[in-house]
Amino acid sequence: MIVNTTIKTVLLEGIKNLLRVISKRITSIKEYLAIKVQPLRHNHALKRLRIKSKEDKVKVAFFVTHSSVWKYDGVYRLMAQDSRFYPIVVICPVVNYGRANMLEEMRKSYQLFKSKGYNVIKTYTENDDSYLDVKHELKPDIIFYTNPYQGLIKDEYYITNFNDTLTCYVHYAFFVSNLCKEQYDGLFHNVLWKAFYETDMHKQMAKEYARNKAKNVIITGYPGVDGFVYGIRTGEYLWKDSNKSLKRIIWAPHHTIEQEGWLRYSNFLRHYKIMLDLAEEYKDKIQIVFKPHPLLKVKLFRHKDWGIDKTNNYYKQWEDQSNTQLETDQYIDLFNTSDAMIFDSGSFVAEYLCCGKPSIFVFADINVKERFNEFGKLALDQHYHAYNEIDILRFVDTVVCEGQDEKKEKRNRFYKRFLESPNQNTASDNIFELICKEIFK
């Protein structure tokens, strides 16, 4: 009896494994065919749009998930100023972190774009629990995505539901991690009409990893840094204290607080109290802004030692102290008006270098550098490095307060070589001009 049961268990497990292999193979074949066919669909869509554009406006939808990772201000404004285009920001619900988070993110995004005077619409109506049918009601000619992940938004807004639409994408963060397969060879990346990437190094990575060999990739620079002013501190707004002698520091912790997972950049659980103590100890010399990754809060809500109340109380402490504050939205003005940054997040490794100011990257462990791609490793070397509280205090004392910035010239050379956009244009200009040439030639 025991033998028979064991045999049945082994057989069932073998059948399950076989079915998994078959399913994976079928998915692989389907994706291969989709990648091969998609350029033909794009050509047909482009021909239709060229005809339509002679009599009607080109409708461009920008699909937004989190307002904090919005990178298309420049592209949107260029289109809004051109009578040939009708741009609209479409707020898509983030469905993988619960209803409360979905509603909060939609509310925050909607208010931000309304305050900018943008043409904006929500895809979800709370009163009757209904979703907008974008494909048939809005009928966009071009869609700009802000995130590549399936399951983050409802499937009807995902790229696979818009095979006959011209789709575009800019990395939601300046890409520096070594997760190249995930960031270049998803079905999403391979079936895009245009993928606008940051540098030649990023295109080479796409050629190496993407199944379409980066045939849809164009180097434009990164529009997320178009608004940064290099090398100077601008303005007094945003910061609680207008005292110009106070140094302004950003603390930007990553969301990867889990024990498992490949990235594991975050030092938040180790340094959350240290950073508040630092603000108090140096209150006559500095101001600090707490700029957490947008996912940090929802992960703290779920953390066994934190939860909703402790998390909200901690965030409120940053709002309440005389020389601290909380910023959870866009960060262009925040970067421009700052003097330095303490951080462990990925994208800022490249983005803050576009401001020309000193910064210190805090290592979660000695292997963190191996989690960066080749471009990311080069960018990481331009920052000061911290492994403990003493390193952070030394940076604040010596580099920020005393101005002994030994890496300044090295950062300047890196910026000139890697981070300036091609064609002596902004990245947004490059994207806009390319789209115009494709449609109106």
CATH number at residue 347: 3.40.50.2000
Do 289 and 393 fall into the same domain? yes
Do 430 and 414 fall into the same domain? no
Q: Give start and end residues of each alpha helix (H) in 217-364.
A: 268-281, 296-302, 307-320, 332-336, 348-351
What is the pLDDT at residue 144? 98
Do 189 and 255 fall into the same domain? no
In the three-class reduction of DSSP (H, G, I as helix; E, B as strand; rest coil), residue 207 is classed as helix
pLDDT reading at 21 higher than 70: no
Cα–Cα distance for residue pair 261/255, rounded to 1 Å: 12
More confident residue, 29 or 81: 81
Helices vs strands, H then E, count in the chain? 15, 15
Do 89 and 212 fall into the same domain? yes
Domain enclosing residue 50, as ranges? 2-226+422-440
* Residue 383 located in a structural domain: yes
pLDDT reading at 42 higher than 90: yes
Q: List, for residues 306-340, the tens digit of each pLDDT value.
A: 999 999 999 999 999 999 999 987 789 999 999 99
What is the pLDDT at residue 1? 56
What is the pLDDT at residue 441? 78
Least confident among 167-171, 227-231, 380-384, 432-436: 227-231
What is the pLDDT at residue 45? 97
For residues 409 and 417, the answer to whether their CB atoms sit within 8 Å is: no
Q: Give start and end residues of each alpha helix (H) in 82-199.
A: 99-115, 180-184, 187-191
Among candidate residues 365, 358, 354, the one with its CA nearest the CA of residue 342: 358
What's the Rg (C-alpha) of the chain? 24
Do 198 and 161 fall into the same domain? yes
Structure tokens at 429: 């200009």
* Residue 139 located in a structural domain: yes
Do 256 and 112 fall into the same domain? no
Phi, psi dihedral angles at 318 (to 5 degrees): -70, -30
What is the pLDDT at residue 151? 85
Average pLDDT value for the chain: 92
Do 215 and 334 fall into the same domain? no
Give, in order, the Cα–Cα distances in Å from 28 to each of 3, 21, 24, 360: 37, 10, 6, 42
Instruction: Grade residue 127 by pLDDT with cuts at 50, 70 and 90.
Output: confident
In the three-class reduction of DSSP (H, G, I as helix; E, B as strand; rest coil), residue 410 is classed as helix
Among candidate residues 253, 245, 228, the one with its CA nearest the CA of residue 341: 253
pLDDT reading at 7 higher than 90: no
Do 219 and 307 fall into the same domain? no
For residues 311 and 297, the answer to whether their CB atoms sit within 8 Å is: yes
Instruction: Grade residue 403 by pLDDT with cuts at 50, 70 and 90.
Output: very high
* Residue 215 located in a structural domain: yes
* Residue 271 located in a structural domain: yes
* Residue 398 located in a structural domain: yes
Instruction: Grade residue 24 by pLDDT with cuts at 50, 70 and 90.
Output: low
What is the pLDDT at residue 264? 83
Do 22 and 165 fall into the same domain? yes
Residues 6+ apart with CB under 8 A from 389: 271, 274
Among candidate residues 82, 44, 40, the one with its CA nearest the CA of residue 60: 82
What is the pLDDT at residue 25? 64
For residues 418 and 375, the answer to whether their CB atoms sit within 8 Å is: yes
Mean pLDDT of 294-311: 94
Among candidate residues 178, 219, 182, the one with its CA nearest the CA of residue 202: 219
Do 371 and 335 fall into the same domain? yes
pLDDT reading at 122 higher than 90: yes
pLDDT reading at 12 higher than 80: no
Do 138 and 255 fall into the same domain? no
* Residue 234 located in a structural domain: no
Mean pLDDT of 39-48: 97
For residues 430 and 220, the answer to whether their CB atoms sit within 8 Å is: yes
For residues 179 and 205, the answer to whether their CB atoms sit within 8 Å is: no
Q: List, for residues 211-270, the tens digit of each pLDDT value.
A: 999 999 999 999 999 999 998 999 777 898 888 899 999 999 999 998 666 678 899 999
Judging by DSSP bridges, how do beta strands 217-219 and 359-362 pair with one another? Answer: unpaired
* Residue 236 located in a structural domain: no
Mean pLDDT of 150-176: 93
Structure tokens at 337: 């008006």
Do 380 and 311 fall into the same domain? yes
Instruction: Grade residue 66 by pLDDT with cuts at 50, 70 and 90.
Output: confident
User: Percent of the chain at pLDDT above 90?
Assistant: 77
Number of domains in the chain: 2
Among candidate residues 340, 322, 323, the one with its CA nearest the CA of residue 394: 340
CATH number at residue 6: 3.40.50
Q: What is the 8-class DSSP label of residue 158?
A: S
Reduced 3-state DSSP string for 232-261: CCCCCCCCCCCCCCCEEEEEECCCCCCCCC
What is the pLDDT at residue 260? 67
* Residue 25 located in a structural domain: yes
Least confident among 38-47, 251-260, 293-302: 251-260
Structure tokens at 301: 């809500």
Q: How far is CA 422 from the centre of its chain?
A: 21
